[in-house]
């Protein structure tokens, strides 16, 4: 038994090189012919028997592809005598087998479920191909790792040593890492970790001479460094690369090759344009007939291709790793062909022939519609208006006007030339007359349009907050002569006595000091008491000094005020409206005022001072809500000289996207007014310390803030979403 040691692992170009050997003339004397391909299970392995008419003199050459998982066997001087190219096996790991003959060479391609290795041997006229079993965990491995896991652990799987590690630069600027393995049975696991490419070689030791780090930056490839290290019973090789790159790997006997190249964007590259999704193939033919080339693609894709008799000519092409659907498109474009697909059947013919066929089909359909009898059908509408729906069906026909064939300006959108429609607003019905196929289309359209419109509840919350603070300090200073008030020496026997009196205010303290009766406090030297807007009285302290010898007095009053206030106004209008329908809600006062009409008469007009919410919602397919908002918050201001009151307006106009049931702040206004005022007697008020008796100070702060919150809620059948 001979093990085939040719295993190929291609990552970036997962393709079958179908028929890449060229188109050669058939040999007159073939060594044999393939008569059958069968598959069965034996000892847990999948076995395929390829029966030939004559005993082969040598084993077929072959290779394996990891992605997609395939094994290809080439039989030289052998033809295909089965009469078909596709063999359904569906046995174990094998799906199907493709047998393709080119000249005197035949290739057998085994389509696998998972990548694995194989062994082949000749038993008389039969070539027996044994596939190694694939473990269940191999599905999670990379293609080459699956190959390594599938390799049998036998006496020949002893630990071997890595023979060589080399690096080269290819002609196209790719970096090529070449490994000489100790045995052809060793598989290499290739994985990409971020920007690094990691190669794990199981059951292998690393000689001391290869335990090094190669710096290959000067080669001008994406590869920067290559490091080799021993990790247990395996060797790990780490390839560090830069830029946007791709890699490919393959193994031939004991040599494993990894190529890392830069991804290039070629504007003339065939793969650009439409997104082709077919499996990749390679074609290399000289002067091959187009019909034969289409048959090769049919064998590869398992599609049924019907080729018109008018498809002729030959073609020379070379395509490598191209999706089969793109290759087919290239062939058709080169020969002016077109394609019509029905299921798994492709009809290929010249484009002119296809266009002419399609034109005749359309003309026949139009002629059939002109002869088809008309039918009438009524549609009862539940939610939509019949007149609106009739306008949509006829493309702008006036409501209530019967649209019929031959009428001027007929612009039916969904009806035929002979179709007509009539709306009955009283019963909200629609009557349509047309051919049966158009009636079916109208029925589906009405079913889509006559649906309830979703509704949205919009709640706005307008919060106005006010915070005021004021502080004022004031002084009054004055005095007088009692002799002038009471005559002579005063007449109260007060001479020789001095008195000091305290009081709550200026007059109280003065009268307490004068004793004998009321005292006229007279004028004030300084009259700057504390004062705040909206506050009539505050705290005060008075001191009066009376000199009896001189019959004179001096009084001082200190006053202070402080005010701190907070207020809040919350307005919450809410309204329910249909999707994409504007709604308005307002509440407030209409203020009357007089104005002169053009004829000279006096009339009464009104101004609105209202809280108003204008909103038009739109429900998105994701369930969010787009709101077109206009929010007013007006109040009565000062009266103008013309007798017309001013309106203090706060307004927000915006468009916002809000999630269903979510709340968003769409805007706000913040105002801060601070005042510091000092009233003083000139010069005296500037004297340090004593100057405080000749001035008053007032500080006020007024903060006003308004915020507008919006909450939309889509109303379902059970009510609004909470």
Separation CA 684–CA 690 (nearest Å): 8
DSSP H/E element including 148: helix 143-150
Among residues 81, 85, 63, 114, the alpha carbon closest in space to that of 250 is found at 63
Given a contact cutoff of 8 angstroms between Cβ atoms, the answer to whether 9 and 126 are in contact is no
pTM of the model: 0.45
CA distances from 85 to 273, 303, 412 (A): 32, 12, 54
Write down the pLDDT at residue 139: 35
Write down the pLDDT at residue 119: 85
- Is residue 373 scored above 50 in pLDDT? yes
Write down the pLDDT at residue 628: 92
Write down the pLDDT at residue 507: 65
Write down the pLDDT at residue 358: 87
Cα dihedral: 317, 322, 326, 332 (round 10): 10
Strand 539-547 relative to strand 45-52, pairing: unpaired
Write down the pLDDT at residue 523: 57
Residue the block writes with tokens 């199981």:
202
Q: Considering Cα of 526, then 527, then 532, then 533, what sign does the dihedral take?
A: negative
Among residues 314, 9, 334, 306, the alpha carbon closest in space to that of 144 is found at 9
Token duo for residue 467: 């915070």
Write down the pLDDT at residue 399: 38
114: Cβ contacts below 8 Å, ≥ 6 apart? 69, 93, 134, 138, 139, 146
pLDDT tens digits for 97-111? 888 887 778 888 888
- Is residue 190 scored above 50 in pLDDT? yes
Write down the pLDDT at residue 380: 92
Task: Transcribe 55-77 into DSSP letters.
Answer: --SSPPEEEEETTTTEEEEEEET
Token duo for residue 548: 């009896």
Task: Say which residue, 207 or 286, is predicted with more confidence.
Answer: 207
Separation CA 19–CA 284 (nearest Å): 7
Q: Is 576 helix (H, G, I), strand (E, B) or coil?
A: strand
Strand 213-215 relative to strand 164-169, pairing: unpaired
Q: What is the mean pLDDT of residues 682-710?
A: 88
Token duo for residue 588: 């407030």
Among residues 102, 61, 123, 53, the alpha carbon closest in space to that of 81 is found at 53
Token duo for residue 118: 């194989």
Write down the pLDDT at residue 265: 53
Q: What is the mean pLDDT of residues 340-363?
A: 86
Listed ranges 29-33, 54-58, 156-160, 377-381; the one with the highest mean pLDDT: 377-381
Task: Say which residue, 410 or 577, is predicted with more confidence.
Answer: 577
Confidence of residue 457 (pLDDT cuts 50, 70, 90): very high
- Is residue 206 scored above 60 in pLDDT? yes
Backbone angles phi, psi at 156, to 5 degrees: -80, -5
- Is residue 328 scored above 60 in pLDDT? yes
Given a contact cutoff of 8 angstroms between Cβ atoms, the answer to whether 552 and 480 are in contact is yes
Confidence of residue 31 (pLDDT cuts 50, 70, 90): low
pLDDT tens digits for 252-295? 778 888 899 887 654 444 444 456 777 888 888 888 888 888 88
Residue the block writes with tokens 């005559």:
487
Given a contact cutoff of 8 angstroms between Cβ atoms, the answer to whether 414 and 438 are in contact is yes
DSSP state of 711: E
Separation CA 577–CA 574 (nearest Å): 10
| Count of C-beta atoms within a 10 Å radius of residue 164 | 13
Q: Is 351 helix (H, G, I), strand (E, B) or coil?
A: helix
Confidence of residue 512 (pLDDT cuts 50, 70, 90): low
| Count of C-beta atoms within a 10 Å radius of residue 699 | 16
Strand order, beta sheet including 429-434: 375-380, 429-434, 420-424
Among residues 265, 157, 167, the alpha carbon closest in space to that of 219 is found at 167
CA distances from 474 to 46, 155, 477, 676, 680 (A): 109, 111, 10, 14, 10
CA distances from 374 to 197, 216, 410 (A): 71, 81, 18
Q: Range with the lowest mean pLDDT among 21-30, 67-76, 518-527, 702-711?
A: 21-30
The proportion of the chain whose per-residue pLDDT surpasses 90, expressed as a percent, equals 12
Computed over every residue of the chain, the mean pLDDT equals 78
Among residues 361, 373, 415, the alpha carbon closest in space to that of 393 is found at 415
- Is residue 712 scored above 90 in pLDDT? yes
Task: Say which residue, 447 or 404, is predicted with more confidence.
Answer: 447
Q: Is 413 helix (H, G, I), strand (E, B) or coil?
A: coil
Token duo for residue 679: 């009233």
Given a contact cutoff of 8 angstroms between Cβ atoms, the answer to whether 102 and 75 are in contact is no
Confidence of residue 177 (pLDDT cuts 50, 70, 90): very high
Confidence of residue 404 (pLDDT cuts 50, 70, 90): very low
Cis check: omega of the bond before 68, within 30 degrees of 0: yes
- Is residue 5 scored above 50 in pLDDT? no
Confidence of residue 12 (pLDDT cuts 50, 70, 90): very low
Among residues 127, 105, 133, the alpha carbon closest in space to that of 2 is found at 127
Residue the block writes with tokens 């085994």:
110
DSSP state of 382: S
Write down the pLDDT at residue 29: 43
Given a contact cutoff of 8 angstroms between Cβ atoms, the answer to whether 682 and 645 are in contact is no
DSSP state of 220: -
Q: What is the mean pLDDT of residues 86-103?
A: 84
Given a contact cutoff of 8 angstroms between Cβ atoms, the answer to whether 110 and 97 are in contact is yes
Q: Where are the alpha helices (DSSP H) in 86-220?
A: 143-150
Confidence of residue 118 (pLDDT cuts 50, 70, 90): confident
Token duo for residue 26: 């058939």
Would you put residue 437 in left (φ > 0), alpha (ψ -120 to 50) or beta? alpha
Write down the pLDDT at residue 276: 75
Cα dihedral: 163, 164, 165, 171 (round 10): -130
Among residues 441, 428, 430, the alpha carbon closest in space to that of 382 is found at 428
Write down the pLDDT at residue 356: 87
Task: Say which residue, 520 or 162, is predicted with more confidence.
Answer: 162
Write down the pLDDT at residue 158: 66
- Is residue 26 scored above 80 in pLDDT? no
Q: Is 475 helix (H, G, I), strand (E, B) or coil?
A: strand
Task: Transcribe 176-192 into DSSP letters.
Answer: EEEEE-S-TT---EEEE
Separation CA 629–CA 616 (nearest Å): 7
């Amino acid at each position: 038994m001979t093990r085939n040691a040719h295993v190929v692992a291609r990552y970036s170009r997962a393709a079958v090189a179908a028929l890449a050997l060229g188109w050669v003339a058939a040999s007159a004397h073939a060594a044999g012919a393939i008569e059958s391909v069968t598959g069965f299970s034996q000892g847990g392995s999948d076995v395929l028997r390829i029966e030939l008419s004559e005993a082969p003199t040598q084993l077929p050459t072959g290779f394996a592809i990891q992605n997609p998982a395939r094994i290809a066997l080439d039989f030289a001087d052998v033809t295909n005598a089965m009469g078909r190219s596709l063999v359904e096996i569906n046995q174990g790991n094998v799906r199907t087998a493709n047998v393709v003959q080119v000249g005197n060479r035949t290739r057998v391609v085994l389509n696998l479920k998972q990548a694995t290795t194989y062994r082949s041997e000749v038993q008389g006229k039969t070539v027996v191909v044994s596939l190694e079993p694939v473990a269940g965990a191999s599905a999670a491995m990379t293609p080459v790792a699956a190959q390594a896991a599938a390799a049998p652990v036998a006496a020949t799987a002893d630990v071997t040593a890595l023979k060589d590690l080399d690096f080269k630069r290819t002609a196209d600027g790719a970096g090529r890492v070449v490994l000489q393995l100790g045995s052809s049975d060793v598989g290499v696991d290739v994985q990409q970790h971020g920007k690094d490419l990691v190669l794990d070689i199981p059951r292998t030791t690393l000689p001391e001479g290869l335990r090094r780090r190669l710096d290959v930056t000067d080669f001008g490839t994406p590869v920067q460094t290559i490091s080799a290290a021993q990790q247990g019973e395996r060797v790990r090789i780490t390839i560090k690369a830069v830029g946007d790159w791709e890699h490919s790997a393959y193994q031939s006997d004991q040599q494993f090759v990894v190529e890392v190249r830069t991804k290039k964007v070629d504007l003339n590259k065939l793969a650009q344009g439409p997104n082709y999704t077919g499996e990749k193939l390679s074609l290399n033919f000289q002067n091959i007939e187009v019909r034969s080339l289409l048959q090769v693609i049919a064998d590869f894709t398992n599609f049924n291709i019907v080729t018109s008799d008018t498809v002729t000519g030959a073609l020379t092409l070379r395509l490598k790793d191209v999706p089969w659907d793109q290759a087919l498109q290239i062939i058709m474009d080169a020969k002016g062909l077109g394609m019509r697909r029905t299921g798994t059947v492709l009809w290929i013919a010249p484009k002119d022939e296809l266009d002419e066929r399609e034109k005749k089909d359309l003309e026949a359909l139009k002629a059939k519609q002109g002869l088809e009898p008309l039918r009438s059908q009524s549609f009862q509408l539940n939610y939509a208006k019949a007149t609106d729906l009739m306008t949509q069906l006829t493309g702008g026909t006036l409501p209530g006007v019967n649209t019929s064939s031959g009428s001027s300006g007929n612009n039916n959108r969904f009806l035929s030339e002979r179709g007509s429609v009539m709306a009955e607003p009283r019963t909200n019905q629609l009557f349509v007359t047309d051919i049966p196929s158009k009636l079916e289309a109208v029925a589906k359209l009405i079913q889509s349009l006559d649906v309830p419109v979703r509704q949205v509840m919009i709640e706005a919350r307008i919060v106005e907050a006010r915070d005021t603070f004021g502080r004022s300090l004031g002084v009054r200073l004055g005095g007088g002569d009692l002799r002038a008030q009471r005559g002579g020496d005063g007449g109260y026997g007060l001479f020789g006595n001095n008195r000091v009196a305290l009081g709550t205010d200026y007059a109280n303290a003065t009268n307490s000091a004068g004793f004998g009766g009321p005292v006229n406090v007279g004028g004030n030297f300084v009259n700057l008491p504390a004062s705040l807007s909206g506050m009539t009285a505050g705290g005060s302290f008075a001191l009066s000094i009376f000199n009896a010898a001189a019959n004179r007095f001096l009084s001082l009053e200190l006053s202070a005020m402080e005010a701190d206030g907070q207020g809040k106004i919350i307005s919450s209008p809410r309204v329910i409206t249909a999707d994409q329908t504007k709604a308005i809600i307002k509440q407030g006062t209409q203020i009357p005022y007089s104005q002169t009409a053009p004829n000279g008469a006096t009339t009464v007009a009104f101004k609105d001072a209202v809280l108003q919410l204008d909103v038009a919602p739109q429900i998105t397919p994701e369930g969010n809500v787009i709101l077109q908002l206009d929010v007013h918050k007006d109040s009565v201001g000062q009266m103008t000289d013309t007798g017309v009151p001013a309106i203090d307006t706060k307004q927000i106009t915006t468009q916002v996207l809000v999630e269903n049931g979510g709340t968003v702040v769409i805007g706000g206004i913040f105002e801060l007014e601070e005042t510091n005022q000092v009233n003083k007697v000139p010069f005296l008020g500037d004297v340090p310390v004593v100057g405080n008796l000749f001035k008053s100070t007032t500080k006020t702060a007024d903060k006003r803030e308004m915020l507008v919150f919006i909450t939309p809620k889509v109303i379902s059948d059970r009510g609004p979403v909470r």
